[in-house]
Structure 1
Amino acid sequence: MDPKITILVVEDHEVMRFGLKSLLSNVEGFEVVGEASNGKEAIEKAKKLKPRVIVMDIVMPMMNGIEASHLLKEAVPATKIIMFTSFETQSYVFAALAAGAHGYCLKNVTTNNLIAAIKTVDSGAAWFDREIAEIVLNYIKTGLAQGDLEVKKLTLSPREIEVLTCVTEGLTNNEIASRLMVSVETVKTHLKRIMDKLEVSDRTQAAVQALKQGLLK
């Protein structure tokens, strides 16, 4: 294995991207091999450069970080992904994890913690900022209290799998309808059936539960 951790920086704001690239380039043992300004460009660069770690924003033009993560998991499965964002809501956190992210850092993270996060995911472990870890732990505690973490033998139809996969990519109901060429009402009906089967109350919980039970690839 290359002694240096190769990194691809993905951020749509030029000043932030330049600053992040400059910061990481000066860390011993790190090498920033490329940069991208959106999810589509990130996939193209990742296929070519094969970085060990991608540090990526979530909200970007053309393709967001969550959808890009889902596709990167297939394109460069050995690459580890850290979400680097200002959003700390449960929906973003679990959508990112469901899409294949290995770490989640807020943009107010300290330099030392960002460096630690990159080294941690490169080693094969997960990394969450303290605030994000609390969100994950609270969700697990709530789930245990409600008994919704019990593994059940559930069957989703092929179309329901498609809809749920779109949810993990961060798509809205309108975007799912457009991709699958169905009406928005049909998408809502599928989501209602999915949530009923998985015994959850929202889209994010449905995606996480399905992944836990191995219902999505």
Structure 2
Amino acid sequence: MPIRVALVNDDEIVLRGLDAMLRNHGERVQVVEIAASKPVATAVDIALYDTFAVGQGNSHGVAKLIANPYVSKVVVYTSNFQPWLARETMATGVRGYLSKSLSAAQLVEALQMVHAGQKVLSPAPGRRGQVGGDWPGREEGLTPREAEVLSLITMGLSNLEIADRTSLSVNSIKSYIRSCYRKIDVDSRSKAVLWGMAHGLRPDRVRIQGSPAQAQAEASGRPRP
């Protein structure tokens, strides 16, 4: 039987990208719910928490997932591999701390290990960037981190609040903001907010049952692997 998985984040684009990344592994992992700013309401083996713009693995959102009776195990999917944060996250009861540099096959293998009862801390990504998935602003050339920072700006957070949310330094946040502004051709925070609102960088509130990516593949007649 495939592992029943819920995908959790505040951004539907992010979750649909992660769902699409997993679509060719339906025999091992079944996405049964996509929860954007909604609590998981379906019994699942694993809730996969994507940290894009919602706080890191030690956040209140993760604590709520751990306490959710519908969720058997919680796995954090992140690009932030500061050693102290990884340790703190795993100490909360999270069963896996997985890098966004993992391929789809590697991610599925790690989820299977967690389901089998192991605690999994994947290797730090080093210089390798995010392999799969999607994020708002990708088509404009924004990196996942730039898009995350811009999303938090759109939510009205200050540089200090963004640094706290992402566990990065304020200077790093300022650097990401400058590169964002160049790529989206704006010269002020207010213009950046308007751009973000127009390009899907606000939290969504939606719960989707099942896997849209797998359903689309089946509807198109493509055989499952």
TM-score (norm 2): 0.49
- Aligned counterparts of 1:15 and 1:77: Cα–Cα separation in 2: 24
Residue number among 67, 72, 84 corresponding to 1:79 in the alignment: 72
- Do residues 69 (structure 1) and 62 (structure 2) align? yes
- Do residues 122 (structure 1) and 115 (structure 2) align? yes
RMSD: 2.5
- Residue 17 of structure 1 corresponds to 15
Counterpart code for 2:43: K
More strand by share: 2
Tell me if the contact between 2:65 and 2:71 (Cα under 8 Å) persists in the aligned partners. no
- Residue 147 of structure 1 corresponds to none
Residue-by-residue CA offset, 1:102-141 (whole Å, 9 max, x unaligned): 0111111122210111101011111111228xxxxxxxxx
| 3-state SS in 2 of match to 1:124 | coil
- Aligned counterparts of 1:117 and 1:55: Cα–Cα separation in 2: 11
Residue number among 45, 53, 58 corresponding to 2:46 in the alignment: 53
Tell me if the contact between 2:29 and 2:108 (Cα under 8 Å) persists in the aligned partners. no
Residue number among 8, 18, 22 corresponding to 2:6 in the alignment: 8
Distance 1:73 1:54, change over 3 A: same
- Residue 172 of structure 2 corresponds to none
- Aligned counterparts of 2:65 and 2:13: Cα–Cα separation in 1: 25
Which stretches in structure 2 are left out of the alignment for 5+ residues? 126-163, 166-225
Task: Quote the offset at 1:51 in angstroms.
Answer: 0.8
- Aligned counterparts of 1:23 and 1:59: Cα–Cα separation in 2: 16
- Do residues 131 (structure 1) and 124 (structure 2) align? yes
Residue-by-residue CA offset, 1:156-215 (whole Å, 9 max, x unaligned): xxxxxxxxxxxxxx99xxxxxxxxxxxxxxxxxxxxxxxxxxxxxxxxxxxxxxxxxxxx
- Aligned counterparts of 1:77 and 1:86: Cα–Cα separation in 2: 26
| 3-state SS in 1 of match to 2:74 | strand
Tell me if the contact between 2:22 and 2:104 (Cα under 8 Å) persists in the aligned partners. no
- Aligned counterparts of 2:93 and 2:87: Cα–Cα separation in 1: 10
Distance 1:83 1:94, change over 3 A: same
Which stretches in structure 1 are left out of the alignment for 5+ residues? 133-169, 172-217
- Residue 26 of structure 1 corresponds to 24
In the comparison of the two structures, how many residue pairs are matched? 125
TM-score (norm 1): 0.50
